[in-house]
Amino acid sequence: MSDPQPVYLSDYQPPAYLVTHTELTFDLDPAATRVKARLQIERHPSADSQAPLVLNGEHLTLISLAIDGSPLADAAYQLTDEVLHIADVPETFMLESEVELAPSSNTALEGLYQSNGMYCTQCEAEGFRRITYYPDRPDVMATFKVTVIGNATSEPVLLANGNPVDQGALENGRHFATWEDPHPKPCYLFALVAGNLHKVEDSFETVSGRNVTLQLWVEQENLDKTEHAMASLKRAMAWDEQTYGREYDLDLFMIVAVNDFNMGAMENKGLNIFNSAAVLTHPNTATDAAFQNVEGIVAHEYFHNWSGNRVTCRDWFQLSLKEGFTVFRDQCFSADTNSAPVKRIQDVSFFRTAQFAEDAGPTAHPIRPDHFIEITNFYTLTIYEKGAEVVRMLRNLLGWEDFRRGSDLYFERFDGQAVTIEDFVGCMAEVSDVDLSQFMRWYSQAGTPEIDAHGEYDYAHGEYHLTLRQRTPATPGQSDKLPLHIPVRMGLVGTKSGQDLTLTLLGEKLGNDAVIHLTEDEQTFVFTDVAEAPVPSLLRDFSAPVKLHFPYSREDLAFLLTHDSDGFNRWDAGQRLAMLALDDLIAAHRNGVEKVMDSRVVEAFRTLLTSAMSDKAVLAEMLTLPSEAYIAEQQPIVDVDAIHAAREFVRQSLAVALRDEFVAVYKANQSDEPYAPTPEQIAQRSLKNVALTYLMAIEDEEGITFCETQFAAEHNMTDVRHALTLLVHSDRDDIASPALKAFGEKWAHDPLVMDQWFTIQVSRPQPDVLERVQYLMQHPAFSIKNPNKVRALVGAFAQNRINFHRLDGKGYALLADVVIELNRLNPEIAARLVTPLTRWQRFDEERQQLMRDELVRIKQEPLSSNVFEVVEKALA
Ligand code: ARG
Ligand code: ZN
């Protein structure tokens, strides 16, 4: 068999044939579903009259084929594993086909499959070709009429996109429902759901006074877990009207929760399908983080109705057009709904850990890749999160008002069309008159740009000279990089006054906080009328997705930590200060020198703990050290053990020095108010639990008692899970084991809680974790076919740095074994799971060899194109 081949953006051609209307009839059966399609097809005006009709289709058994009512002779078409090729077709015609497929054996969870007996679909990006023969590409848009026939007892509920237009009983206990979607759409937005589902219903009145019915469909036992998602949906609908002027366009909006789902959720027109983990919440079963995640994902999928569905992508290279924009929209929504600085801190700390790592590894790719083998491998942090950062930079460059005008123009001009990133950025340039030609490089150049900055204060002239130098490291396939247009939001904080000084550049007063534009390799900005020596506060609110290096002293950082007017940079100064201390300790550990705690970090923490800081959520973030993964990102070669030891040393030193303060914070932030996912309550819980984490770093007796009490009180899952995690991650197995057992038994019936139970155990630092993973993979609650379970158990283990990177290589081997098994069952999940092994270049030689050996072992298998593409890049 030959290796899978890439497709190239530069080969894009408009479709030779368009489908204007699609009618589908599904006769559902687990092993033999029949799908009849009637496609109204037209030749594209610019296509050659001799052009053949080429339809995608995979894993289908063709039963019949006809054009304008006449069955096609065998010689009239060719069929391969991937396409149906008809050489000679009229200019306009009706193509009728019938195929058979087996949802129950579809473990890839793409196309039509079964989850817990329920039928559901996932078509983005290229799943529709597993449902019927069709031009499966986003630039073919049709109206759809869909009839679903199912068993009235096992599938009482039959759903598809759009509006219900007919339903009724049939023979043999069967029944049907017909749905019509009046909005032309690409087939990746098609959806069907059938099963024994129950609904929660609500309504929303749109800004123009239309009443929209909102339905959340779940299995009966989950009816009590829908309230937060429904409330989030209504908030998102109102926010999109107010913020972007976007109104919903059907009379019905449905969300369905399914247990087996490859990703978070999917924006199918009028019928969003969600991973149950991304929609179900209850105070007793879901943490604050889960509540916030649900709110963000519900909003994200809803926002796609405009940024994605009404205006969609021309081809999959443009994926970030809809995803980057929509992530930016959901980030702003969550910031407006909760604590804006905390939202930014959390997003950026995740971004700098995970996206930076991706952008520095063998699978690094631009926001708009120019080729791919398997598009599912490109639903990445780069396309989504870096894409969102680039849209955010546009907002920063244009200002909100022009950005909004650009967005209005984009939606108006391209409504109902499948477009490109140039179309989007073009609207932004057109309304603002900002030249965005250099800015476009953000879309084509991979890798994280680094800015080396230095500054000098000239007392004699009252000037501050800031020099910024940018470089983007080489990435696979891109050795030479051009300078980018980087918006650097900044201030100069006076060391005497502690205040932002007025920025005057080339005689122009810019205010206290301004965006300067770095466009060349190196630029010096001379600020005049600077009355006192300043410390620069650079890249405020993380105004560009770059690594910024500035030779701050620890005194500078301690100063910014308390004086910077930008909340994000205050947090970042604390992180930088902690990093300097951690670097010293990592070096001490490697050199076998005694570790000494930097007293400046202790004092900075003491100030934080005792100053009456009003925003508890920000305070909790400021008291949290950089994660081991983030620290690793900063090292040229990752020393897993030294990082762990250094970070533990800092945690323990802080806990010893500030023990009483942590106890006081813990006590002051207890509450027996009934649970609500409000920003105030969430802030209080996170602060309390951060304090408890420090106390448990030294296994403080009182801390242990707090944990036991908090666990036993069963007040809400945030507190219960946190207490249980701290106990399980401590050496107090005498308390932890019974608690873990009780928790596992209590929640054995709830898959989403069992996911948490798995994760808690396999993320502990003790060396017995590998054996636990092996043991838990045999647990009745585990299933390798369920992506959530794989992520909760095996994925979480691969994030457990000291245990996954064991020097005997058994952690790597375990992951490789699971990847090999999943490669057959679910290639998309397998290709994601292998990621940690692809980062082998970052480790010491011994681990490099062990990791490579496992990649080579995987490579010897008959691989799916998904895993093939990732492993091939990793070994290149
Ligand atoms: N468009 C969906 C979202 O971002 C994700 C679809 C993922 N599809 C996939 N095959 N991985 O909301
Ligand atoms: Zn999305």
Q: Ligand 2 centre from 152 Cα, in Å?
A: 34
pLDDT single digits (tens) 271-324: 999 999 999 999 999 999 999 999 999 999 999 999 999 999 999 999 999 999
* Contact residues for 3 (Cβ-Cβ < 8 A; gap 6+): 868, 872
Buried b (16+ CB within 10 A) or exposed e, 829-861: bbbbbbbbbbbbebbeeebeebbbbbbeebeeb
Q: Which of 96, 295, 301, 374 is the catalytic position? A: 301
Answer yes or no: are the C-beta atoms of 781 and 759 closer than 8 Å: no
Minimum CA distance residue for ligand 1 atom 5: 266
pLDDT of residue 655: 98
What's the CA-to-centroid distance between 109 and ligand 1, angstroms? 12
Q: ipTM surpassing 0.95, yes or no?
A: yes
* Residue 614: predicted pLDDT: 78
pTM above 0.95, yes or no: yes
Counting from 1 in the atom list of ligand 1, the atom nearest the Cα of 125 is 10
Q: What are the per-10-residue average pLDDT scores of the chain (876 residues)? A: 92 98 99 99 96 98 98 97 98 98 98 98 98 99 99 98 98 98 98 98 98 98 98 99 98 98 98 98 98 98 99 99 99 96 97 98 98 98 99 97 99 98 98 98 98 98 98 98 98 98 97 97 98 98 98 97 96 98 98 97 95 88 98 96 98 98 97 96 97 98 98 98 98 98 98 98 98 98 98 98 98 99 98 98 98 98 98 98
Q: Give the number of other Cβ atoms within 10 Å of residue 804's Cβ.
A: 22
Separation of 768 CA from ligand 1 center, angstroms?
36
Shortest-distance atom of ligand 1 to CA 379: 11
pLDDT at res. 2: 85
Confidence (pLDDT) at 611: 85
CA 379–ligand 1 middle distance (angstroms): 7
Pocket of ligand 1 (CB under 6 A): 124-125, 262-263, 265-267, 300-301, 323, 376, 379
Neighbours of 505 (CB within 10 A): 14
Q: Examine the residue annotation and report whether 828 is marked as an active-site residue of this protein.
A: no
Q: In testing the pocket of ligand 1, which one of 266, 305, 323, 376 has its CB within 8 Å of the most ligand atoms?
A: 266
Q: In what order do the strands lie in the sheet with 92-101?
A: 70-71, 61-67, 92-101, 33-43, 17-27, 142-151, 174-185, 163-169
Strands of 522-675, DSSP E: 522-527, 534-538, 547-549
Evaluate whether 34 touches 98 at the Cβ level (below 8 Å). yes
Say if CB 140 and CB 187 are below 8 A apart. yes
pLDDT at 353: 98
Taking the centre of ligand 2 as the mean of its atom positions, its distance from the CA of residue 307, in whole angstroms, is 9
Ligand 1: residue whose CA is nearest its atom 1: 266
Is beta strand 271-275 parallel, antiparallel or unpaired with respect to 252-258? parallel
Containing 690, the helix (H) or strand (E) segment is helix 679-697
Three-class HEC string of 160-188: ECCEEEEEEECCCCEEEEEEEEEEEECHH
Atom of ligand 1 nearest to the CA of 262: 11
User: To test the ligand 1 pocket, which listed residue (273, 379, 829, 866) has its Cβ within 8 A of the most ligand atoms?
Assistant: 379
Which residues, other chains included, contact 548 with Cβ-Cβ below 8 Å and sequence gap of 6+?
A: 450, 451, 453, 538, 539
The protein residue with its alpha carbon nearest to ligand 1, atom 3, reads: 266
Q: Which ligand has the minimum distance to the alpha carbon of residue 377?
A: 1
pLDDT at 587: 98
Report how far residue 506's alpha carbon sits from residue 525's, in angstroms, rounded to the nearest whole number: 9
Closest ligand to residue 127's CA:
1
- Contact between 373 and 5 under an 8 Å Cβ cutoff? The reply is yes
Question: What's the 424 CA to ligand 2 centre distance in angstroms?
Answer: 17
DSSP state of 635: S
pLDDT of residue 1: 65
- Are the beta carbons of 217 and 255 closer than 8 angstroms? yes
| Position in ligand 1 atom list of the atom nearest CA 300 | 12
**Nearest ligand for residue 189 CA:** 1
Task: State the closest ligand 1 atom to the C-alpha of 110, by its place in the atom list counted from 1.
Answer: 10
The distance of Cα 117 from the centroid of its chain, to the nearest Å, equals: 28
User: What are the two backbone dihedrals, phi and then psi, of residue 225, each rounded to the nearest 5 degrees?
Assistant: -115, 25
Residue bearing the CA closest to ligand 1, atom 12:
266
- CA distances from residue 491 to 498, 500, 846 in whole angstroms, order as listed: 12, 6, 45
pLDDT digits (tens, 9 = 90+) for 787-828: 999 999 999 999 999 999 999 999 999 999 999 999 999 999
Q: Which atom of ligand 1 is nearest to the CA of 308?
A: 1
* 298 CA to centre of ligand 1 in angstroms: 13
